Amino acid sequence: MPQSPSEKALIPFVSVENMMRLVHHVGIETMLVELTDVIEEDFRRWESFDKTPRIASHSREGVIELMPTSDGVLYGFKYVNGHPSNKVEGLQTVTAFGLLAKVSTGYPVLLTEMTLLTALRTAATSAMAARHLAPKGAKVMAMIGNGAQAEFQALAMKVVLGIEEVRLYDIDRRATEKTVRNLEGSGLRVTACTSAQSAIEGAAIITTCTADKQFATILTDNMVGAGVHINAIGGDCPGKTELHRDILLRADTFVEYPPQTRIEGEIQQMAPDYPVTELWRVVRGEAEGRRDAGQITLFDSVGFATEDFSALRYVREKLKGTDFYQEIDIIADPDDPRDLFGMLQRAR
């Protein structure tokens, strides 16, 4: 009979079901606020992180990426895919899971689903950036692209920034209807619009979050008025952008990690030395965020490994004292570490 695994060999695994339980236990709005703060905390200690552009494996249908980072104490990585055509087959466009490990031993300490967690951390990152870049007192957000991320974005902007109205547009009317339905009772005024143009009317923040893997023009230059903050999260891999380049020329662009954003973000349309400001410098007060009421600010967000790291360490904290996880036996742990073979033999 196999021996039962020792305690050292067990690591907590958070399934999708347990992640949903955790979110409801904490409260989704509280979780978005707390995640925003944790992500900002890690942006503030940017130089502590071992940073590298994510490692992407591209195919005709999509991309699979590994996003590792480390702060010297913990190491985290996320596995994430992006397959726009998945939704045709009833599958998720983006699914993800992640892991946290101790740097000192390399032993994992947490394995978790990250499809839900990515939606939460992406929304929290957008809210964190908007806190530094959006015009003061912004009350209305346009949300172009009403897919899986839409409600998370809307709620985060509500609880972190005080947004009161979201104006929705999607080329697929059913996506908008789904979002309207889900945001009932959220405390937000929700307006379904029939064009991108009408969605952005009166909006101080414009969030673009569409999924097509191609150069698209969700926003053209004439649509974008002075003073708005653009939260562009859909242009996030090579060949995939959402904004007309003329908008970029009028805006001040803020990014997570330039070596990655120049490959994946809206600025892949621009020259390699196109001027950008790193968001962490704004968070730390070392660079200017919003300068004046007429400035167009653009958060060219592609998603960065530190944001997942922040989310992973947050979940690890929140799990303490709960039963929202299973323990799985993923590490071989013989009594004598050199005796892996003996462990195998004794299991016969």
Site for a copy of itself in 156-195 (CB under 8 A): 175, 178, 181-182
Q: Least CB distance from residue 160 to a copy of itself, whole Å?
A: 17
Identify the active-site residue in 236, 292, 335, 336.
Answer: 236
**Piece in contact with a copy of itself (CB under 8 A), picked from 141-149, 161-169, 227-235, 256-264:** 141-149
Contact 75, 51 (CB under 8 A): no
| Helices of type H across 102-162 | 115-133, 150-156
**Piece in contact with a copy of itself (CB under 8 A), picked from 6-14, 200-208, 254-262, 293-301:** 6-14
Site for a copy of itself in 269-328 (CB under 8 A): 326, 328
**Listed residue (342, 269, 312) closest to 39, CA to CA:** 312
Helix (H) or strand (E) holding 44: helix 28-44
Kindly state whether residue 260 participates in binding a copy of itself, applying the rule CB under 8 A.
no
Answer yes or no: 308 catalytic.
no
Residue placing its CB nearer to a copy of itself in the complex, 174 or 320: 174
- Candidates 20, 216, 263, 319; binder of a copy of itself (CB under 8 A) is 20
Interatomic CA distance for residues 208 and 143, integer angstroms: 6
Residue placing its CB nearer to a copy of itself in the complex, 151 or 236: 151
Residue placing its CB nearer to a copy of itself in the complex, 40 or 42: 42
Encode 208-235: b = buried (16+ Cβ within 10 Å), e = exposed: bbbbebeebebbeeebbeebbbbbbbbb
Contact 193, 175 (CB under 8 A): no
Size of the site for a copy of itself (CB under 8 A): 87
Q: Least CB distance from residue 321 to a copy of itself, whole Å?
A: 20
Residue placing its CB nearer to a copy of itself in the complex, 60 or 136: 60
Q: Least CB distance from residue 61 to a copy of itself, whole Å?
A: 5
User: Which segments within 59-102 are labelled E, that is strand?
Assistant: 63-70, 74-82, 96-102
DSSP state of 3: P
Kindly state whether residue 343 participates in binding a copy of itself, applying the rule CB under 8 A.
yes
Return the ∠ at Cα 111 (arms to 74 and 34), rounded to 5°. Answer: 70
Kindly state whether residue 24 participates in binding a copy of itself, applying the rule CB under 8 A.
yes
As a whole number of Å, the CA-based R_g of the chain is: 21
Residue placing its CB nearer to a copy of itself in the complex, 276 or 315: 315
Token match 């809206």: residue?
A: 266
Token match 């530190």: residue?
A: 306
Kindly state whether residue 214 participates in binding a copy of itself, applying the rule CB under 8 A.
no
Kindly state whether residue 332 participates in binding a copy of itself, applying the rule CB under 8 A.
yes
Q: Least CB distance from residue 287 to a copy of itself, whole Å?
A: 28
Residue 342 backbone dihedrals phi, psi, to 5 degrees: -65, -40
DSSP assignment of 221-246, as one string? Answer: GGG--TT-EEEE-S--BTTBEEE-HH
DSSP state of 122: H
Residues in the chain: 348
Q: Least CB distance from residue 40 to a copy of itself, whole Å?
A: 23
Residue placing its CB nearer to a copy of itself in the complex, 136 or 338: 338
Site for a copy of itself in 46-105 (CB under 8 A): 50, 52, 55, 57, 59, 61-64, 66, 68, 70, 72, 75, 77, 79, 81-83, 86-87, 89-93, 95, 97, 99, 101, 103-105
Q: Indicate the SS3 state at residue 213.
A: coil
Kindly state whether residue 213 participates in binding a copy of itself, applying the rule CB under 8 A.
no
Site for a copy of itself in 106-135 (CB under 8 A): 106-108, 113, 115-116, 119
Interatomic CA distance for residues 228 and 139, integer angstroms: 12
Q: Least CB distance from residue 163 to a copy of itself, whole Å?
A: 16
Q: Least CB distance from residue 117 to a copy of itself, whole Å?
A: 9
Which residues carry out catalysis?
236
